[in-house]
Structures are given as C-alpha cells and as structure tokens.
Structure 1
Amino acid sequence: METAYPPLNELFVFLNTTITQISIFYSHIPGSGILLKYIKNSHQNDPFRTILELLLVFFAIIYLFTKKYRTDNLIELTPQEVEELVDEWQPEPLVPQLSDEENEFDKIPVINGPQGPRVKLVNGKPLLNISSFDFLGLLSHDSIKEKAIKTLREYGVGSCGPPGFYGTVDVHTEIERKISDFLGTEDTIIYSQGFSTINSAIPSFCKRGDIIVADEGCNFSIQKGLQISRSIIKWYKHNNMEDLERVLRKIKDEDIETGRRLTRRFIVSEGLFENYGDITPLPNLIELKKKFKYRLILDESLSFGTLGKRGAGLTDYFDIDPNQVDMIVGSMCYSIASSGGFCSGSFEITEHQRISGPAYCYSASLPAMLTVAATESLKLLKQNPLLPSTLKFNTLLFKQLLHNIKYLLLNGSADSPVIHLRIDEGIVRVGDIEDKEKCLQDIVDEAMNNGVLLTRAKYNRTQELFSIEPSIRICISASFNKKEIEKTASVIKSAATKVLKNRVH
C-alpha cells in the first residue's frame, strides 16, 4: 500500500525553501530591518490598527488597478424637470435655532473695565467678583500694568513664531529661571497657553503601550492629554489612595501573569482639583510611586501660588522636596496674573519637551509683555510673603460662615480657596442635571442682584469622561477684607434660601 508521506514532505520542503528565499531577499532590501522594527513597535497591543492599515493598503492597490470612469455623460434634464427640482428644494435657515445653552448668553453679565476682585457691569452696578481665579488679587496690580506697558513698547506685541525657531527672547529664559528658583527644581519650560500645557506635557513622554494611572477627578485638559497620548489608561477613584494602590497592584499582577514587557509608567493627578476643590495627599502619592516604581505628573495649576507658606504649591504645603515629583505642571493664568503655563522638573525632562512638546513646537511663543507680567507677579509674591496666609485666612473665614448653610453642600478641602456648592439632595427635591443647573443659575442670578458675582461650573458634558455633579464654583481672593467676606457669605445664604426653600422634601 502506497503512503502519502513523501508528497507531503516534498510540500514542506518547498514551503520552507520558498520562505527562506523570501526572507533572504527581504533582508537585502535597504531599510528592511528598520521597517520590521517599526511594525513591531507601532502595532503592539493594537491589532485593530494593524488590520486597518492592511485594509488601507489593499484598498490602495485595488484603486490603482481599477478602471477609471468618466463623468462626461451627464443626464440631460428637461426645463420642466428643472423647475420641479427647484420648487422642491428647501434652503437651510441662515441662522439656526439657538440651543438652551446658547440662550443663556443674554443673561451673562458684561463687565465694563478691567478684571479684578471688585468689578462694574456695563450698567454701572458694582459687584464683588468671587468667580475669578485671581486668588492673590494681582490681576489689577499697578506695578504689573506698568511693567507690561513698558515691555509692550520695547518688544512689541509678540514674535508670532514658535519658541524653538525665533520666538524665544531673554524674558522667556528669565521667567523659566525664576520659576525654577521659586519651586526649587532643576529646570523649567514655559508654554504659551495654560490649557495646552498639561495636555502637551503628557503625550511628550507617554506613547502607545505605556501605562498611565490617573485620578477620575482630573480636569478636562488632563483628560485630553491622556487621550492624545494613546497610552493604556487606568483610572482610580477620586482622591482614594487605597483604590490607587489596588490599581497599581493589579497592573503588577497582570505583568507577571502575561509576561508583559516593561514600559514607561506614570501616575497623573492634580494638586488642587478644579472640579472638586480638594487637595490630593501628595505624601501618599510619592510613597506609592516609589513602591511600584512609577513617575509622577502633578498638575499644580490651581495650587501654585495658593498653597504652602510661600505659595509654592503642594510640595511647599506638605514640606516635601519638589525633586521627588518628576513633573510639576502649572498655569500662569491664575495666581500670577498672566497667561501660559510651565512644566518644571529635571533638565532632561524640560529639554525633551523642547523638541517633542506639541504645544511648544507648533505654537507661537508667549508675548513678552505677558511673560514680564508673570515675572513681576512672582516678584510681588516673594515680596509679600503674607499673601498666601491672607488667602488661607479668608478661605477659613468664608467656610466658617457657610458651614451651616441650608440646602447646599460645601465641597472642598479646608485650606482650598476653590469651593464648590452643590445641592443637598437629601433636603432639596430636584430632577435631572438640567433641573439642578437651573436651580443653581437662579441662585447665581439672585446673588448678582445683591452685589455678588458668582458662576456655575461649566463642563463640556459631551466630552467629559466622568459625570460631574452641577455646582457653583467659588474662588476666594486674598484681596477681600473681612467685611466683604461676610457680605458674600450672607448674600449666598439668602439667595440659596430664596430659590430652594420651596423645593424642600
């Protein structure tokens, strides 16, 4: 009886010889090794991208060899058919109907004159502005205005060029040096937009395959940076260090089980949370990042200038060496009355961003007058060391006055100048998010009628990754006196009572 093994062996030999010849031929192609390495690195943990690119290549081949067609043979329409089509056509309105959110624009108060803790509307009505991030009251400081005007006359409006090309001037390097000295870090890089700073710094270091563990309460800018990085994102419950340790331990166990190769790993959090007003426990973060060997990215946009004895942020507040935080990211739009942002850390971290930070490489540099305004604000903060303690006193006084407020919950850490007032659903009868926002807006309007300018916290709910309860966001300023703080608290109490008393369960 004849066996089928010899033909099968011949087939295996033929396949092996063919594959070997193809491999040898491919290895002689210039750059073949680099191409293979790129495919392995870029397609790790992402089979969907591999399939998508193969489909695109297949489509391109079909498109190149498909017979082209011409559109010369147009269908001729009779005059009657043309008239019928014209009669049927309905043009879109030039001005679409406004949404409910756009209809609120008519209610937005318009300030006449410069920003500051005390403002006037176009109708001349004076208001206490407790909705501004001008925590230290430096926005209307005369010396900052004088410096900015002098710089404008000397340098002009701006370079209109990226910092790495022809946009960097001496005042930029000066503010970078000043921030490093103030924080106690090795080096600093500045960006021209505060919002883009953190969402540029994150993807500068985090790529596909890297792992980022982030707080669920992080602000919208951080969320965008995480999405742009295309890294593996793991979330832990807001400000919950036990849950953070659980997530880190789970990742470690997965590494052991799957044999996953070691990649760059980061923990991302805010120093002072914009959406909640609470302070992250930095000592615990540093302990966990050392234990599990992660790098720490800390957004200090709101804590810079507000927390600590010197106002140097969370490391000053907890008396921790700033070099234990790998990247300190902050905004110059708030406490130091300017624009733009900064990232501070080691020299290697800042230099890497100068060639890989999207918002640094592709944006015009910060105008010189705004740079000098930031430098002058930092100088005033150093010359007035009581500013952070005054801010802290005003914060504690305000929270003490609102401690027993009816119908509303007071959210935020004790020393946080950012406070969120949310409806107490255990007492007040409310419906969905829209109903809550309407109630809060009524409180804002009532407070404005009584001389206090408030604002609801606004969110892009179609893009926010986590649901956030509607709130009124209050920002305390060091420039308020005791009488103004007492008046503000009294007005808010009265407005909340007037609006919500009829909604009690």
Structure 2
Amino acid sequence: MTSRNLDQFLESNIANLKENGLYNEIDTVEGANGPEITIKGKTLINLSSNNYLGLATHAELKSVAKQAIESHGVGAGAVRTINGTLDLHIELEKRIAAFKGTEAAIAYQSGFNCNMAAISAVMDKNDAILSDSLNHASIIDGCRLSKAKIIRFEHSDMEDLRAKARDAVESGEYNKIMVITDGVFSMDGDIAKLPEIVEIAEDFDLITYVDDAHGSGVTGDGAGTVKHFGLQDKVDFQMGTLSKAIGVIGGYVAGKQSLIDWLKVRSRPFLFSTAVSPADAVASTKAIEMLMESTELNEKLWENGNYLKKGLKELGFDIGESETPITPCIIGDEKQAQTFSKRLYEEGVYAKAIVFPTVPRGTGRVRNMPTAAHTKEMLDRAIRIYEKIGKEMNLI
C-alpha cells in the first residue's frame, strides 16, 4: 500500500495549481526542435525554444557528433576525476576559455549544475551573497546550497546594491562577499548593468559572478554579456550553458586558472557525475568555433528579434523593456495567459505561457524566442495570428 498522506498531498496540490492556472502541461515534440515543430501531428511556428542560433539542428554539428560516436563511443564512461576526462573535453574547455577571453574554463553536465557546483565550492556559511531579485532559479538554489547569507537587492537597482554591499562589509560578519547576477534576464530580456556592478564590486572587494546562460551566443556579437562590456578581466566567474545558443547540452565556468583548478577538485557535480558525452563535447566545440569565426548567425538572430518585437509592439501588445531578442508578451492574469497560449497553439504558433513561480504573480506572459533559423514568412504568419487572438480576447 502506498502512503495515503502522499496521495492526499499530491491530489490537493495538483488540483489547486490547475484551478489557479499554474499547472504546466508538458507537450512532446515529434522530431527536431527547429523553427517549426510538430506536436500531435500539428506543425507549429516554434517561438518557445532557447535554440537561438538554430545550431541544435545544424548539419555540421550533427556530422562531428556522429564522428565522435564512432571514435569515442556514446558515453564518457566515468566521472572526470577518475578516467572520464577525454581529449574532447580538454579541447572543449580550451575553446570555451578562448571564446570567453579567460585563462581557463571547466565544463559541466548542465547550466543548472554549474550554479549548484561553482557557488557552493567557493562560498560557505561564513560568507554573504548579494543576489539580484530576479536571478534564475539555479542561482537561487546554488546560493542556498552554499549556506552563505543571501542578501537580495532590487532588480538592477545599483543604489540598493551599493547600500547593501556597504552594510555587509561594514558589519564585519562575513569572510567573503559575492555579487551574483544573470547577464541577460530570461523572462524580460533585459541586460544586467555590469559596468556599474563591477565598479561597486571593486569599491567593496566583492567576488563577481555572471550567469550568462541567455547572453552567450546572443550579446557581444555572440561572445556574451561580459565581453559586450569588455569586462573579461574584471569578472571572476563567467558561467554559461552549452544548451541554448550553442545548441547542445552542458554548462561551463570560465575564469582564472586558479579558480578552475579549485573547481576541479571541490565542485561536487564535477566530482560525482559522469562527464558529458563525446558527441556533446565535440558538437559544442564546433559550435563555439563557428561563433568565433563568424557573426552571421548572431546578426540574423537580432534581425529576427527586432522584426518580431516591432510587429507585436505596433499591434499594441505589452512587450516590456527587453534589450535582447527575448520578447515577452505580458498578459497579467495567469489564467488569461494560459488561454492566450492555448489559442495561439490552435492557430499554429507554439509560444508557451510563463506564470508564477517562474515570474511574479500577476505578470503572466507568453514568452517569444525568435531564432536565427526563423524566416520572415514564419514571423509574419506568427504576427498575423497574434493579431487575431489579441483582438479576439480584447487584449489589443
């Protein structure tokens, strides 16, 4: 017999989520995750993928991945610290460091793993972390795992950050203090004020940590938000993913050689989880090489992003203050956001509703992620569908 307490907990809480429009239905994509996708036999314009540059389905990446399977097998076979470090992992880390403009880099199994690993490897219960109030869930969990004192500052509010940094330093309670922020905030598309953050960090000797999961491949002509501001020698931790613009899977931290050496002996996901597969490692390396050689895909991404933004804004939708191709369409009410997303689906656009707890209550939205792989015809079709549903629901 299974636990009745568990059954009651699950049934009541799932019912509550559904009643409040907060229950997320998971759809299955039949085939590749490209600019168009198929779900339940229906072809849809895909505006929900993080595949910013279209690299997840790129022919060259598929080719090198197949070759790596033939030469190195389908799995690394061990954790990195035993004998799971393949020559392909070393080459990937060298490429990441060159790409991010740092002395060295370390690769992990996912971006979430990076934040769980790196923060807790350096910060502990005797330290404090100044964290932007809109930081990603993986940052929040990584901070909690470290057991450091978490001090939230208002989103991109530099006066609040400075005041809280001063209070933390003057209290004399902490051995080390870190300031941590997303480079690009994934729900609103705005960019962190890194020059000001670095200036405050220098004034108070703060450790700087930038999670550039949505910036790498997007900002700074593809090199990321830290490079966009020319701050490679000023930021201690550059964290990013290999699963968004890079198009594969995994994550990394780039920084000084001494930092990377420490993470390789003290970050638990690196020590206790099998390395990414040979195919993933070599495909990620190839993607980074492509971005270092050409900005063509990055330019196409921004062209498409600006085109979609302009179209939706002219229709009268609230697209927030995004500074990147990420284009939120803010509805407000959670149930209405879910209904809007469902109607878009029925008309041929896949744009997932984002509701609490991913975003604050009352700011439910449909988030659009245009990519370099979308055609103008696809975007025009999507805009026409947005217009139809927006008028139908009295949103515009």
What is the TM-score of this pair, normalised by structure 1?
A: 0.72
Aligned to 1:306: 218
Aligned to 1:482: 376
- Matches for 1:253-268 after TM superposition, within 5 Å: 253-255=170-172, 260=173, 263-268=175-180
Is 1:316–2:224 an aligned residue pair?
no
How many residue pairs end up in the alignment? 390
Rounded Cα–Cα distance in structure 1 between residues aligned with 2:153 and 2:67: 48
Aligned to 2:350: 453
Alignment check: 8 A CA contact 2:313 2:319 kept: yes
- Report the secondary structure of 2:330's partner residue: strand
Is 1:233–2:150 an aligned residue pair?
yes
Alignment check: 8 A CA contact 2:311 2:383 kept: yes
- Matches for 1:99-498 after TM superposition, within 5 Å: 99-100=14-15, 108-123=26-41, 125-255=42-172, 260=173, 263-309=175-221, 311-318=222-229, 320-406=230-316, 408-414=317-323, 416-423=324-331, 436-457=333-354, 460=357, 469-498=363-392
Question: Higher relative CO (CA 8 A, sep ≥ 6), structure 1 or 2?
Answer: 2
Alignment check: 8 A CA contact 2:34 2:373 kept: no
Rounded Cα–Cα distance in structure 2 between residues aligned with 1:155 and 1:91: 45
Rounded Cα–Cα distance in structure 2 between residues aligned with 1:291 and 1:235: 19
Amino acid at match of 2:331: I
Rounded Cα–Cα distance in structure 2 between residues aligned with 1:384 and 1:495: 38
Structure 1 residues 75-100: Cα deviation after superposition (integer angstroms, max 9, x where no partner):
xxxxxxxxxxxxxx999599875824
Rounded Cα–Cα distance in structure 1 between residues aligned with 2:81 and 2:139: 24
Structure 1 residues 154-203: Cα deviation after superposition (integer angstroms, max 9, x where no partner):
22221342111111000000000001111111000000122111121101
Q: CA deviation at 1:451?
A: 1.6
Alignment check: 8 A CA contact 2:331 2:366 kept: no
Alignment check: 8 A CA contact 2:108 2:252 kept: yes
Q: Cα RMSD (Å) of the superposition?
A: 2.6
Q: In the superposition, relative to structure 1, how do residues 207 and 109 fare at CA in structure 2: closer, same or farther (>3 Å)?
A: closer
Amino acid at match of 1:302: H
Q: CA deviation at 1:240?
A: 1.1
Rounded Cα–Cα distance in structure 2 between residues aligned with 1:331 and 1:354: 18
Alignment check: 8 A CA contact 1:185 1:345 kept: yes
Alignment check: 8 A CA contact 1:135 1:391 kept: yes
Structure 1 residues 97-143: Cα deviation after superposition (integer angstroms, max 9, x where no partner):
582457999965432211111122332x2211110000001111111
Amino acid at match of 2:247: A
Structure 1 residues 295-323: Cα deviation after superposition (integer angstroms, max 9, x where no partner):
100000110001112x01012322x1412
- Report the secondary structure of 2:55's partner residue: coil
Aligned to 1:45: none
Q: CA deviation at 1:351?
A: 0.6
Q: CA deviation at 1:490?
A: 2.5
Q: CA deviation at 1:493?
A: 2.9
Q: CA deviation at 1:496?
A: 2.5
Segment drifting more, 485-494 vs 192-201:
485-494
Amino acid at match of 1:352: W
Rounded Cα–Cα distance in structure 1 between residues aligned with 2:391 and 2:123: 48
Q: CA deviation at 1:334?
A: 0.5
Q: CA deviation at 1:384?
A: 3.1
Amino acid at match of 1:418: I
Alignment check: 8 A CA contact 2:31 2:38 kept: yes
Rounded Cα–Cα distance in structure 2 between residues aligned with 1:199 and 1:447: 36
Q: CA deviation at 1:276?
A: 2.5
Rounded Cα–Cα distance in structure 1 between residues aligned with 2:188 and 2:313: 17
Q: CA deviation at 1:486?
A: 2.3
In structure 2, runs of 5+ residues without a counterpart are none
Amino acid at match of 1:482: K
Q: CA deviation at 1:449?
A: 1.8
Segment drifting more, 244-253 vs 466-475:
466-475
Structure 1 residues 7-55: Cα deviation after superposition (integer angstroms, max 9, x where no partner):
xxxxxxxxxxxxxxxxxxxxxxxxxxxxxxxxxxxxxxxxxxxxxxxxx
Amino acid at match of 2:320: N
Rounded Cα–Cα distance in structure 2 between residues aligned with 1:150 and 1:349: 33
Alignment check: 8 A CA contact 1:217 1:276 kept: no
Q: CA deviation at 1:325?
A: 0.6
Rounded Cα–Cα distance in structure 2 between residues aligned with 1:140 and 1:497: 35
Amino acid at match of 2:340: I
Structure 1 residues 381-431: Cα deviation after superposition (integer angstroms, max 9, x where no partner):
23432221221121112111112444x4212433x122222226xxxxxxx
